[in-house]
């Protein structure tokens, strides 16, 4: 079955540690996205990538980093510079030029202690 | 003021009721309108997609867009407990533009 796989589903880390969230897709989509979701707020775009080896900052990129070395993979690193990293992180993909529909993974819940 | 406003709820209704969920927006250039459903601790999934104005129906779900009022709605008929979820509206100017999201409305259908 095609889809987006995010791991881990739950992650606990101490303050000051970097963490990397994995996102893999087998939908053959060119575009991939990382969103952050906090209670009572809409999805906020962290980074997106339209093509391999290229990515752009979204609205809240500070304290985060990404790479896009393969079409299938778009990992997100939450660095120690991110002031409030506890959140639900969602990875998505889409077909550029289509309806704009996003296909989401099941999310990763990061809690910083 | 946010570009897209959506009441976070929760909205609690009895099973079988008609549910109305709404979003208002400020950018008159928006043309693509979507409703996503998100179950607890899961990723959102596309429920309804509408281009420009008008209505779209899919089973028990109807999406309406009123561009003159900058207002979109999602109606759910014969609501079921399995419809309990958070409903997020999203919109964009162009299919290649980034989606702008509402905060999501938490819906609870009581058996």
Task: Show the tokens assigned to B109.
Answer: 């259908």
* Average pLDDT of the residues in B3-7: 93
Closest to B30 in 3D by CA, of B56, B58, B4, B1: B4
Q: Using the beta-carbon criterion (under 8 Å), do B41 and A101 form an inter-chain contact?
A: no
Task: Show the tokens assigned to B96.
Answer: 């290649």
Q: Which residues of B touch A96 (CB under 8 A)?
A: 96
Q: Which residues of B touch A87 (CB under 8 A)?
A: none
Q: Which residues of B touch A56 (CB under 8 A)?
A: none
Nearest to A106 among B42, B46, B90 (CB): B42
> Residue A47, SS3?
strand
Task: Show the tokens assigned to B63.
Answer: 């999406």
pLDDT bracket for residue B96 (50, 70, 90): low
Q: Which of A4, A42, A48 to mutate to test binding with chain B, by most B CBs within 10 Å of its CB?
A: A42
Residue corresponding to tokens 């060119």: A30
Nearest CA of chain A to the CA of B17: how many Å? 25
Nearest to A98 among B90, B95, B98 (CB): B95
Encode pLDDT of B20-70 as tens digits.
999 999 999 999 999 999 999 899 999 999 988 889 999 999 999 999 999
* A81 close to A5: Cβ distance less than 8 angstroms: no
Q: Which of B44, B46, B94 to mutate to test binding with chain A, by most A CBs within 10 Å of its CB?
A: B44
Nearest CA of chain A to the CA of B107: how many Å? 13
**What confidence score (pLDDT) does residue A100 get?**
73
* B2 close to B52: Cβ distance less than 8 angstroms: no
User: DSSP E strands: which ranges in chain B?
Assistant: 4-5, 11-14, 19-25, 32-38, 45-51, 54-58, 61-66, 71-76, 85-92, 100-101, 105-110
Q: Which residues of A touch B96 (CB under 8 A)?
A: 96-97, 100
**What confidence score (pLDDT) does residue A79 get?**
93
- Chain A to chain B, count of Cβ pairs less than 8 Å apart? 58
**What confidence score (pLDDT) does residue B73 get?**
97
Q: How far is the C-alpha of A60 from the C-alpha of B11, rounded, in Å? A: 29
Task: Show the tokens assigned to A80.
Answer: 């120690």
Distances A15 to A76, A111, A112, B102 between C-alpha atoms, Å: 17, 10, 6, 30
Regions of chain A short of the pLDDT cut 70: 1, 96-99
What is the C-alpha R_g of chain B? 13
């Amino acid at each position: 079955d095609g889809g987006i796989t995010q791991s881990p589903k739950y992650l606990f880390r101490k303050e000051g540690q970097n963490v990397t969230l994995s996102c893999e897709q087998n939908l053959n989509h060119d575009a991939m996205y990382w969103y952050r979701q906090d209670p009572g707020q809409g999805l906020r775009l962290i980074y997106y990538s339209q093509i391999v080896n290229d990515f752009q900052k979204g609205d809240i990129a500070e304290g985060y980093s990404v790479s896009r070395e393969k079409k299938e993979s778009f990992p997100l690193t939450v660095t120690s510079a991110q002031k409030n990293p506890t959140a639900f992180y969602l990875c998505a993909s889409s077909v550029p030029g289509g309806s704009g529909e996003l296909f989401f993974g099941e999310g990763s819940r990061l809690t910083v202690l | 003021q946010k570009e897209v406003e959506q009441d976070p709820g929760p909205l609690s209704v009895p099973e079988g009721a008609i549910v109305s969920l709404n979003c208002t927006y400020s950018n008159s250039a928006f043309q693509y309108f979507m409703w996503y459903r998100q179950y607890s601790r899961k990723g959102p999934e596309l429920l309804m997609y509408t281009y420009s104005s008008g209505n779209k129906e899919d089973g028990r779900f109807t999406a309406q867009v009123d561009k003159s009022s900058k207002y979109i709605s999602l109606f759910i008929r014969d609501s079921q407990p399995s419809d309990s979820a958070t409903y997020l509206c999203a919109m964009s100017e162009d299919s290649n533009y980034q989606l702008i999201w509402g905060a999501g409305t938490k819906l609870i259908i009581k058996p």
